[in-house]
Structure formats: C-alpha cells, structure tokens
Chain A
Amino acid sequence: MLSWLFSVATFAGIYALLALGINVIWGMGGMINLGMAGFFALGAYASALATGAGALPIPIGLALAAVLAALAGGLLCRLTLRLRGDYLAIVTLGFSELIRLIAANEIWMTNGSDGISGIPGPWRAELSPFQFNMLSCALVTLAVLIVWAMTERLRRSPWGRALRAIRDDDTAAAVAGKPITRFKVQAFALGAAILGLAGAFYAHYTSYIAPDIFRPLITIYIFLALTAGGTGNSTGAVVGAIAVVAVLEGSRFLEGWVSVLGGVEKAALREIVIGVALIAIMQLRPRGLLPETPPGPFLKRKDT
C-alpha cells in the first residue's frame, strides 16, 4: 500500500511538472499549447535513447531532454509567432501528433509502436521495488520544488512582469519598449524544457514508453489540472496536478463501491468524476482554487 502511495505521488509529481511547464507557456505567457504531449514525448524519448542506446548517465539524459524540448519549443514558437488563440492551438496540436507519429514510424530509432522497454532507472537493480518508488518520489518531488521555486522567482521578477504585460496586450507592451518576440520565445522554450524534463522522469520511472502514452488526452488532463488549480499561479498548478492524479487514482476505490455497474461503466466513471469536479470548481471558483494575484512588489516600497 505504501509503495503504491509513493508510486501515485511520483506520478503526481510528474503531472505537477507538466502543469508547471504549461503554466509558464499558457498561464504566464498567454500562449495556448495543445502540443504538450509532444514535448513530453520528446523529453521521454530523448532521455530513454540517450541513456539506453547511448549508454549515457541519467542526469545527462535529463539535461538533454530539457534542452531538446526547449529548442523544439523555441523554434515552434518562433514559427507560429503571428498565430494566436485557436490557430496556435491547432498548430501545436499538430506538432504533438507529429512527434507521436515519428515515434511510431521511425522504428530503427524508437522501436515503433512496440515502444522502448528496459529504460534504466536510478539504482533500479540494487533497490527493492518499494525503495525504488520511494527514491523516485523523492527525486521527482525535489525536481518539482526546484522548478516551482524557479518559476515563482521568474513570475515575481521584471521578466515575469513584462511577460504578463505581453499576455494582457502585446501591442501596448511593444509600444512600452518590450521586445515581445524574445519574451514569447523564451517563455515557450522554458515551458517546453520543463515538459521535456517531466517526460524524462516519466521514462526513467516507468522504464517503458510507447507512442500510445503520449496521446492528446494527457494534454487535456494537464489543462484541467491548471484550470482547476488556478491559471498563472505556480502553486495552483502543483495543487491542481495533485488533485487530478488523486481523482484519477482515487476513482479506483469508487469503482469497488459501485457494484451494480459493469466494467465499462466503471471505467467511464473516472471521466465523469473528473468532469463533474471541474464543473463544480468552475462554478464555485471561476478562476481556479488558487487564483492568480499580482505577485507583490519585486522590491518593497519605502514609505516616503
């Protein structure tokens, strides 16, 4: 049971990383990115291949995943700079499908739809499954804390302030002297790097990845998590991610209680619970559980 809890917590941590990444792009930068699963996959495959076929140590795999995703994110953002709203959503969704199809078809590299198994995990051979879950949970939690602290620091900084201004009105921000291309590309690349990092953690923890894991549904879950937690708020992103994983995993127990339903209905129950929970949150707290507030002064004001 405890081992299972550590495993759930590890997944919650990975979801929290994804939500933090999306929060930088969408929450802080106002750019919709339905291609989240693509960056997640890119990071997962990059690290899996680097540490498996490439026999590099895991930390280098993680760094490689983040850098590669950042490059892809920066490039995608640069190419789609003139698109906004629905159009950007479609292009990013296309990007994510593109990555998934490459993973499914470039069999020489990715082993196609069979996926890559036996991805190394930190000391997996030496540790018992319980100890491994515990270690993974600790490492992912540490990563979440570091990324959370980084994004919070950025949000409070002049950089975050300018990014929020661009999100609100990019013409007025440009007239205010802000190079909006640079800000948008940086924010997108940073968010993508966090998504790639989450992918690498996923690969090393589960030891198995396949194209099917990176379907758009996971993107929807993360947007759900962020919307429920509070768009633009890093703490809200983490809280929302934990809540979504709790509902996803907790609905298992619900299935046991509702004995009148058949197997298919029980499986559908999970989606129903998530949907109802989101509607309830949006009705009661339209801006999420923890709404975004101005981060407070970057520097305390002296009273004069």
Chain B
Amino acid sequence: MVTEALAATSPMEQTARPLMQVRDLRRSFYGVQALNGVSFDVTPGTITALIGPNGAGKTTAFNCISGVIPPESGSVTFEGHDITGLTPDRIHGHGVVRTFQIARGFPTLTVLETLLLHGEAQPGESMLTALFSPGTARAREAELLDRAQIIARRLKLDHVLENLTDALSGGQKKLLEIGRALMARPKLILLDEPVAGVNPTLSLEIAERIQQLREEDDLTFLIVEHDMDVVARICDPVVVMAQGTTLTQGSFAEISADHAVQDAYLGTRS
C-alpha cells in the first residue's frame, strides 16, 4: 500500500531553489534543550513532512519558524528574506501561515467570521477607518466574503458558516484550520498534525484535500504528522527529527528503511 501511494506522487525536483531554509535552529526551556540544531529545506510545490517521536521538538520547531517562540540561535530564510525571530504577524505577512495542533478556534467567532478574520489587507481593521469610513472596509469585505465562501465550499464547511467555532466537530475544526490558513493567500502553510484525533475516513479526506490544494493552488506545505499512512500517501520528502535535531531526510521509502530512524522511534537496539 505504501509503495502504491508513493508511485502516485510525482518525483520531486531536487534542483528547485528552496522556498524556506531552516539552519541550525536552537532553543532551550529552563535548561532543557528542546531544539539542538534543526536544519532542513522546503522546496516549492512539495508537501514536506516533519516527523519524529514525541518530544523530538517538531512543534517547537514550528513555533520558532512561525514566530510564536523566538529561537535562541540559527536562522529561518523565506524566499531569500531573513524572517528569524520576527513577530508572528510579520511572518504571516511574508506568506508563511500556520495552524495549531489542537485546533485553536476563537470560541466567540462564527466560522464565517473566523475565515474573514484571516483575510489580509482589510482596511476596516484600522480603528479610524472602521469608525469614520466603513465604506472602504465594506468594499474589501465583499472580496473577502467571496473568497471565504469559495474556501468554505471546497472544505465542505459552507453549511456551518453561521455556527460558532466552538460548536464544530473535531474534523470540522481541522478543516477550518486549513480554511483559515488558505484565507491569508499563503505561499507556505505549516500544518501541525492536521489529522490527529480524526477518524480514518475523514483523515484520508483531509489528506486528499491537502494534495488537491497543492496541485490546484500551487501551494507548499510543511506538515507535522504522526499518522504514517497519511505521510506515506502525500508527503515527499520526509524530514525526521529526534531529540531536537534533524536526523535525516528522504522519501518515505528511504527513511522507513533507515536504521537510525527506526532506532529513534523504537529506542536503540541492544
């Protein structure tokens, strides 16, 4: 099954210039070294996976890349710009958008409001414009509304647009996470466990959705995921992390044959 899935994805072009370069990221918390030199590239048009056992530092790496936690050293370069340690909203402005592992909705916002919130360049987010010139905000809102409705339809969320995000099912929350990332017209989407806690049927559906978005919208994904079926099906290359460092990188077939990777997951063989 794994090999069939691999054959379905096109071989990626290693020659392309990387979209994002992560070099030697380091970060510790109270003396515990969570990231101990993380380096990898994300090539445009790929769905790159970041896998590794629990505690390997995958989510910390995401936090450092997206600006939620500043790294202590190392660098993140996106499209040639150094985005290391910028604030999350600046990094978002570069076109790098992330989702959260536990779908972090805004409980008092509806699904539609959540999508609209993630639209960029809304002049109505300036207090004075909102107060004294709501017309300019409305014009922009109309464009964002069209986009939100198209995205909702693609993710099959169009029938729950008026619901509060708190009232969604787990799977719908995961889809909304992807939807909010799409609203921002991103270049690179970081997905933190997009199918964790979702039933197998829906997780395949989400995986297909991601693949479809890559093809139709020319998007690049970096995905942290534990579900190896999904990783095998849609991700190439796969970057393996263990104990805060990047261990190796390759196609799923390559890394699953790698002894070092097996050790990292199962513990060192005696």
Binding site for B on A (CB under 8 A): 150, 153-154, 157-162, 164-165, 167-169, 171-180, 186, 190, 232, 292, 294, 297-299, 301-302, 304
Contact = CB atoms under 8 A, between A and B. Distances in A.
A174 B89 contact: yes
A164 B105 CA distance: 12
B100 A158 contact: no
B104 A176 contact: no
Contacts of A171: 68, 88, 104
Interface of B: 66-68, 87-89, 92-93, 97-98, 100, 104-110, 112-114, 116-118, 120, 122, 124-127, 129-131, 134, 137-138, 141-142, 145, 149, 161, 164, 180, 184
A297 to B, nearest CB: 7
Given A157-B137, A162-B117, A299-B141, A178 B89 contact: yes
30 contacts: A150-B131, A157-B124, A157-B130, A158-B130, A158-B137, A158-B141, A159-B125, A159-B126, A165-B114, A169-B104, A171-B88, A172-B100, A173-B117, A174-B68, A175-B68, A176-B89, A176-B92, A176-B184, A178-B117, A179-B87, A232-B108, A292-B108, A294-B113, A294-B164, A298-B116, A298-B124, A298-B138, A299-B141, A302-B145, A304-B149
- B contact face: mostly helix, strand, loop, or mixed: helix
Chain A to chain B: the 8 pairs with minimum beta-carbon distance, closest first: A158-B124, A157-B130, A177-B92, A174-B88, A159-B130, A168-B106, A172-B104, A299-B141
Contacts of A153: 130-131, 134
Given A172-B100, A179-B89, A298-B124, 17 more contacts: A153-B130, A153-B131, A157-B130, A157-B131, A157-B137, A162-B125, A168-B106, A171-B68, A172-B104, A175-B100, A177-B88, A177-B89, A177-B93, A177-B184, A294-B109, A298-B138, A301-B112
Contacts of B138: 298-299
A158 B137 CA distance: 8
Contacts of A180: 89
A103 to B, nearest CB: 30
Contacts of B108: 164, 167-168, 232, 292, 294
B107 A168 contact: yes
B184 to A, nearest CB: 6
B118 A177 contact: yes
B130 A154 contact: yes
Nearest to B106: A168
Nearest to A155: B130
Contacts of A162: 117, 125
A176 B130 CA distance: 19
B131 A161 contact: no
Given A164-B108, A294-B109, A159 B92 contact: no
